[in-house]
Every structure is written in structure tokens, then in C-alpha cells.
Amino acid sequence: MSTVPGHLFVAHGDLTRLSCDGLLIPCDADRAVSRHWHRAFGWSTGAELVDTVSPGDDIEALLAAVRRQLEVLASTVRDDPHAGRVVPLIGMPIPGTGFGTFAQRRGAVVKALVPALVTAARELGVDIALMTTDRRDYAAVQALRSSPPDLSPGKREQADALGALAGRGELSVFVGAGASIPLGLPGWAPLVNRLMQEAGLGSLPGDSDEATLKAGAEVAHKVLGDRADEIIAAALATNHCALSHALLADLRVRQTVTTNFDTALELAMAPVWGEDLRVMTRQWARSCSPWLLKLHGSVDLPGSMVLTTSQYQRHEIDGRPLYGLVQGLLMTSHLLFVGFSLSDGAYLKLAEEVDRIYRKSTGTDSPVGTALGLDSLADESKALDAAFRHIAFRSDDGDLNLAARRLEIFLDRMAWSASRTAGGAHEYLLDDHYRDLIGDDTEALHRSLAALVATAGASTSEVAGAVRAMLRQFGAENPDADLVSESDVVEGARPAPALGEAARTRQPVGGE
């Protein structure tokens, strides 16, 4: 049993796609649940139902019911977290606010729920991921939540600075294979070894360098032919994303690059961006669209994956515009590397060229990027290291799993900072569902803006359109009531499927 206090994480996304140890799912007194939750019962993970209807309009009774079921769920997952987690992760929505009793009192629920979950996580020794499907809910929770405290003062300052860059639209993100390891997906060396074993070629040592891994993949490809892509796709298949993917998506950066073949990052980004998201390799990005560049291909696009020596050689020529795009991000934004070793010579050359121009033109030693790693990626023998700020999370305890969790908490703090910096930080302000969150310090401003809504709505002048657009950023128009992923009870809801033995044993779900 872990003695590490639990942490409350907050994310905007689809809870049924989050890889976790357990789920707390809303139901009514007859254990009927919204149809949205039915696919969650197919997981091999723990699940507990919480009745959010019987408490009526009593928020304290609702919180008591949530706490009781969290205690039950925590007792079943606490001693056996999957995917190397030192603290098990329980996912849950904001209870009672979909089609439940508290749909019109979302602000009151958020105001009471957030501190209650902070306490529950710490006392029960579990991490809790509170996931919202509506941007107003997410903004309200982040605005109400005090700064996530479980970092050193220095790390908090670094996370806040990076989060502020994201909130102002000045950050881009480069995601490497390390981000998908919590899903149980293989990294570069294990993936190459899987190909070699399938080809009957044995295995490479775990500390093999970049050139050796590429050469091993080359030999395996020659033996396997088209089967190689099928083996890679099977090894990296997932219907879920890790918590780190969800937190990275919540930074809402408009330019993201990944060398990963798997689709976990797209799954996390889709609820945040909707149809605006462009996944490059399958689509062209529009100038105004958020985009994800799959630099080395994707499992859902056969023939696109770059893994062998010859594939890398061709990619350096055929993919030159893509490398140029990465170089452009280094020149026009601060580039954050997550789960990436910074050992790939192609990217180091790109960064070195940008760093040389940057230092010559600005005369400063400020880094052009930040690299987050479990261990520091800095190497005094590499002159390029001065181009990056290196932030490491393994401390004197030497525990890599603890370091991975500290990185998650760092990303949580970044997302918190980004949300409070971004233009939509208060998009719940004029929505009456959140009236309970209006304090004395904003009451007068709220009344003035509410009056302006009627004035701008009645005006036909050109400037009124711009004013209405501004007011919408503060929630002037009510959100769509059909918040299916946080629905408690819908017409025609059926009793929840039996959880079954597999659900109670909580086997890892990341690779399903």
C-alpha cells in the first residue's frame, strides 16, 4: 500500500477513454445509467456506481454518497495500481450535473465538490482525475481550485511560466514515446525487439543506441515484409489515453508534434478541439486550425511508419518540409519536449541551427525550448544543451515511478496555469448554472455584463457583433444541455451491466 498522499487532477475530455484503475459512474436509485457509460463497462477495470438522484437537492448528501463510494473503490484498487503507478488513479465526472438533480446548479456542486475531492484524495491515498466534458465546467473548476501544491516551489514556478506561455498561445509541444509508456505500450527498443523476435532474430540489448535499433528494425522488416506494420499496429493498439495525454491536450496549444505511432494523443485532443483538430499525415492543416503532426507516421495509416535505417534515410529527404515545420516552431514559439530523449540527431541538428540564429540575433542565452524528463537530459559534452531548459523529476529516492507521477502533477499545474491565463478562463461567468460561483468581488461586474448582454443583443450595429462575441467568452449563451458524458440518468436508461470478475480484478486497459 502506498504512503504517498493522493492528488486531485483536473482534465477536460472523455472519461471513458482515460486509462485508470477505477471509475466512479453516476446512476439513479435503480442503478440505471446513461447510455454514454455503457462502453465503460467493457473495460477490465474497477467500477463503482454512485446514486446521484436520491440525494435530491441536498449537496451535502450528494458529497457523502460520492465519498462513500470513493472509499469502496479505493479499497479495491489501492494495493494494485497498474502500469507502474505508485498511486492508483480513479476517474470520475462532476456528479449530478448532467441530467441529474443538480443540472441547473453546476456552480454550487463545483464549489462544494472540489475541496471535498482534494481531501478525499489525500485521505484515501488515491489520485482522482475529475474529468469534464464541457468547457464551462472545466473553466469553473480550474478557477475555483487553488494551485495544485504537490511540487517544490521551484517546480511550481517553472510550471506556471510554461502554463502562462500556453495560455497566451506562445507554446508548442513535442511528444515522444515516453508519454505512452503509462498505457503499457512498448517504447522504441521493446518495439524493435518484438519485430526481431517475430522474425526469429532474437533480441537487442536494452541499452542499444539509436543506430543499432534502426539497423535491427531494418533486418526484421526484410524478413517480415508487410507483416511488420501489422505487428507494430497490434503492439500499439489502444482505445485509451494516459493521464499525461489528457493534461497535455488541456494546454490547448495549437501546434503539437509527436513521433509516436499510436493514436492516444488524438484520443485526448479530440474532445478538447472537436472537428477543428487536423491530424497531419491524414489531413492538411488550415491556417486557423489546431493541428497534430504525426512526424513518423501512424498505426492507422499503413506504410507511413518510420522505424528502420532506410526509412529514416528516405524520411530525411521526403519529409524535409515536416522537419522544416518543427524548425519553424522552434523559431516562432517556445517548444516543450515531453517523453522525448533529445537523442535523435535529425532534431538536434534542427535545434542547433535555430539556436545559433537565435543567439546571434538576440544576444541572449535564453533557451529556445524546455525538455521535461524523468532524469535530466542534459549532457555537458553536448554544446546544444544550452539551447534547452532541462527539468528532471527523479529525486534522491531514485524511483522512476514516483518521478513519472511528479511529471503528471507538473503537467496538471501547467494546465491549471494555462486555463487561468487563457481568454476562456471565465467562460462560465454569465451562465446562470454557475451563479453560485459569483463572489462579492465580481458581483458588480457580473451585473454590468449581464445588462450589456441585453443591450448588445438588441443592437444591429456592426460593433454589437464584436461585443456579443466578447460576451460569449464569458458564457452569455447557455451551453448545450446535452452533456452526455456527465449525464446521470436519461430517458430510457437501462440498469448498468454486471461489472463481472474481470472488472473487479482491474487488469490494465491501456493496450485494449
- Residues 379, 438 share a domain: no
Residue 139 lies in a domain: no
Give the long-range contacts of residues 451-457, CB within 8 A, separation 24 or more: none
pLDDT greater than 90 at residue 503: no
Please give the radius of gyration of the chain, using alpha carbons only, rounded to the nearest integer.
Answer: 24
Q: How confident is the model at residue 491 (pLDDT cuts 50, 70, 90)?
A: very low
Contact 473, 427 (CB under 8 A): yes
Q: DSSP secondary-structure letter at 79?
A: T
d(CA 201, CA 369): 39
- Same domain, yes or no: 387 and 450: no
Residues 202, 172, single domain; the answer is yes
**Residue 351, H or E segment:** helix 345-362
Q: What is the mean pLDDT of residues 272-279?
A: 91
Whether residues 492 and 441 share a domain: the answer is no
Residue 146 belongs to some domain of the structure: no
Check whether residue 115 and residue 200 sit in a common domain.
no
Residue 130 confidence class, pLDDT cut points 50, 70, 90: very high
Q: What is the pLDDT of residue 352?
A: 67
Pairing of strands 22-27, 89-92: parallel
Mean pLDDT of 455-474: 84
Is residue 208 located within the same domain as residue 73?
no
State the CB neighbour count (10 A cutoff) for residue 26: 27
**CATH at 318:** 3.40.50.1220
Name the 3-class secondary structure at 189.
Answer: helix
Q: pLDDT by residue (tens digit) across 361-388?
A: 666 667 778 888 887 655 544 544 567 7
pLDDT in tens, 159-197: 999 999 999 999 999 998 888 888 888 888 899 999 999
Relative to beta strand 494-495, strand 278-280 is unpaired
Question: How many C-beta neighbours within 10 Å does residue 467 have?
Answer: 17
In this structure, is residue 147 part of a structural domain?
no
Whether residues 298 and 200 fall in one domain: yes
pLDDT at position 349 is: 64
Q: Are 495 and 30 in contact (CB under 8 A)?
A: yes
Number of structural domains (the chain) is 3
- Note whether 106 and 216 are same-domain residues: no
Is residue 406 a contact partner of residue 87, using CB atoms and an 8 Å limit? no
- Give yes or no for residue 15 having a pLDDT over 70: yes
Phi, psi of 429 (to 5 degrees): -60, -40
Is 247 in the same domain as 107? no
As given in the structure block, the three cell numbers for residue 225 are 515484409
The CATH code of the domain that includes 110 is: 3.40.220
Residue 156 belongs to a domain: no
In a domain, 148, yes or no: no
Instruction: Report the distance separating Cα 14 and Cα 486, nearest Å.
Output: 9
Could you tell me which residues come within 8 angstroms of residue 83 by beta carbon, excluding any fewer than 6 positions away? Answer: 19, 181, 182, 183, 184, 508, 510
End-to-end CA distance of the chain: give it in Å, rounded.
Answer: 27
Does a structural domain hold residue 394? yes
Amino acid code (one letter) for 335:
L
Smallest CA-to-CA distance from 339 within 193, 187, 205, 167 is with 187
Q: Does residue 204 register a pLDDT over 80?
A: yes
Average of pLDDT values for 477-487? Answer: 39
Place of cell 465526472: 93
Is a pLDDT exceeding 60 seen at residue 129? yes
Q: Domain residues for 97?
A: 8-134+484-505
Helix pair angle (153-167, 400-421), 10° resolution: 40
Pairing of strands 32-33, 494-495: antiparallel
Query: Which one, of 140, 138, 166, lies nearest residue 421 by Cα?
Result: 166
Lowest mean pLDDT among 38-52, 203-217, 308-322: 38-52
Looking up cell 454590468, which residue turns up?
448
Neighbours of 194 (CB within 10 A): 17
In a domain, 149, yes or no: no
Are residues 106 and 226 part of one domain?
no
In this predicted structure, the answer to whether residue 498 has a pLDDT above a threshold of 50 is no
CA distance 79 to 275: 40
Q: pLDDT, tens digit, for every residue of 381-415?
A: 454 456 778 888 887 667 788 888 999 999 999 99
Same domain (yes/no): 378, 453: no
* pLDDT, tens digit (0-9, with 9 covering 90-100), for 226-268: 899 999 999 999 999 999 999 999 999 999 999 899 999 999 9
Q: Tell me the three state secondary structure of residue 267.
A: helix
Q: Which band of pLDDT confidence, cut at 50, 70 and 90, is reported for residue 216? A: very high
Kindly report the average pLDDT of the chain as a whole number: 82
Q: How far apart are CA 217 and CA 212, in angstroms?
A: 9
- Coil, helix or strand for 49? strand
CA distance 137 to 484: 13
In this structure, the answer to whether residues 403 and 463 fall within a common structural domain is no
Burial class (CB in 10 A: 0-12, 13-18, 19+), 472: middle
Q: Is 158 contained in some domain?
A: no
What average pLDDT does the segment 52-79 reach?
Answer: 92
Q: Which H or E run contains 264? A: helix 264-273
Kindly report the pTM of this predicted structure: 0.88
pLDDT of res. 502: 32
